[in-house]
Amino acid sequence: MENGENSIVVVPGANMLFTEEDLDEKSFEGIKIVVCQNEIPVCTTRKALELGRLSGAQTIYSPAPCPKREDFETFCEKIDYLIANETEALQLSGSENISEAVEALQKKYKIKNVIVTLGSDGFALKTDEELTKHPVAEKVKVVDTTGAGDSFVGAFSHSLASAKKSTIEHAKFASFVASRSTTRKGTQKSYFSRAELA
């Protein structure tokens, strides 16, 4: 693909065998962050977010691949941070532009923090206070964008669990880490170590 853009095919396989019966409250004891996405059954995601909330953990949801709106509506009130890419945000909200999508996702689904990753344009963030757009931390030579969204979610989760900062600061860190991951081919092997990022 040109400019390092990607095209992804999902083969769920064993992921669909992970059911809500595999989860219990004990599994969530002492957990700070619960991160879910959409490559497991909807009922399992719903229960994981619910048990995460009950345990006092903060919950993050990445709608990848994008779920049906009616499925999303069954667990959206259990999400503290929604991190979606542009396509996912537009599909979930039914909006035609990102500003409207972010507002709609927060108001309609009552999600306190909505983050939309915008590739080379950075990210948009809607908190209770305001909607802000932030450019990427640094321009990089893009080789492969595969895994950049997962890198953003992982870095955001790490930052949230590790330090008391504002949501904007967590998202800026995640954007920096994700942008660096696009400078290498592949997914996990493209991720920079903590030492490399220092």
76 part of a folded domain: yes
Task: Report yes or no on whether pTM surpasses 0.85.
Answer: yes
Number of separate domains in the chain: 1
Residue 6 has pLDDT above 70, yes or no: no
pLDDT given for residue 182 in this prediction: 92
159 part of a folded domain: yes
Percent of the chain with pLDDT over 90: 77
Between CA 189 and CA 150 the distance in angstroms is: 12
CATH label of the domain that carries residue 175: 3.40.1190.20
How confident is the model over 146-163, as a mean pLDDT?
Answer: 95
How confident is the model over 99-105, as a mean pLDDT?
Answer: 94
CB burial readout 75-99, b (16+ within 10 A) else e: bbebbbbbbbbbebbbbbbebeebe
Exposed/middle/buried for residue 20 (C-beta within 10 Å: 0-12, 13-18, 19+): middle
Structural domain for 124, as ranges = 10-197
How confident is the model over 169-188, as a mean pLDDT?
Answer: 92
Residue 158 has pLDDT above 80, yes or no: yes
pLDDT band at 129 (very low <50, low <70, confident <90, very high): confident
72 part of a folded domain: yes
Most confident of 4-18, 118-132, 159-173: 159-173
Between CA 31 and CA 28 the distance in angstroms is: 6
188 part of a folded domain: yes
Percent of the chain with pLDDT over 70: 95
62 part of a folded domain: yes
pLDDT given for residue 4 in this prediction: 55
Alpha-carbon distances of 134 from 3, 72, 106, 137, 193, rounded to whole Å = 21, 27, 18, 8, 24
192 part of a folded domain: yes
4 part of a folded domain: no
Active site residues: 150
pLDDT given for residue 2 in this prediction: 53
3 part of a folded domain: no
Pairing of strands 81-85, 123-126: unpaired
Q: In what order do the strands lie in the sheet with 131-134?
A: 33-36, 58-61, 81-85, 113-117, 123-126, 131-134
Written as six digits, the tokens of 87 are 């396509």
pLDDT band at 1 (very low <50, low <70, confident <90, very high): very low
Residue 98 has pLDDT above 80, yes or no: yes
